[in-house]
Amino acid sequence: DARVTQTPRDKVTEMGQEVTMRCQPILGHNTVFWYRQTMMQGLELLAYFRNRAPLDDSGMPKDRFSAEMPDATLATLKIQPSEPRDSAVYFCASGLAGWTGGTFFGQGTRLTVV
């Protein structure tokens, strides 16, 4: 059963600490997305990658957020330093460019910064 896997599922951290979220896309998918979901802003695209190259990270606060794909099976989203306003659910999603199927979402990482 192919699925997008995210770790950790929940993270509580203190303000100022570094947070790293990990995502394993579905095997064979070449497009990976990071979304953030909050009650106020809904679903926002933070960054996305095609064949491991960043295509768009305009939705990401550059001073504290960074996203990378060290290899085809791992995407990371890092926040340093974290702030309370970063509290949200972060979703990773993957898809296959050119395919008419959907984009598949992981279970999300619920981040709470206190």
Partner 1 sequence: ELKVEQNPLFLSMQEGKNYTIYCNYSTTSDRLYWYRQDPGKSLESLFVLLSNGAVKQEGRLMASLDTKARLSTLHITAAVHDLSATYFCAVRSQETSGSRLTFGEGTQLTVNP
**Separation between Cα atoms, residue 75 and residue 23, nearest integer Å:** 5
Q: Is 35 helix (H, G, I), strand (E, B) or coil?
A: strand
Q: Is 70 in the site for partner 1 (CB under 8 A)?
A: no
Tell me the window of 16-24, 44-52, 62-70, 79-87 that interacts with partner 1 (CB under 8 A): 44-52
Cα separation values, 14 from 56, 64, 87, 95, 97, Å: 29, 15, 11, 33, 38
**Separation between Cα atoms, residue 70 and residue 90, nearest integer Å:** 19
Candidate residues 7, 76, 87, 103; the one interacting with partner 1 per rule CB under 8 A:
103
Stretch 73-102 residues interacting with partner 1 (CB under 8 A) = 91, 93, 95, 97, 100-102
Candidate residues 33, 34, 65, 90; the one interacting with partner 1 per rule CB under 8 A:
33
The tokens of 49 are what? 């990658």
Residues of this chain that interact with partner 1 (CB under 8 A) are: 31, 33, 42-43, 45, 48, 50, 55-56, 91, 93, 95, 97, 100-108
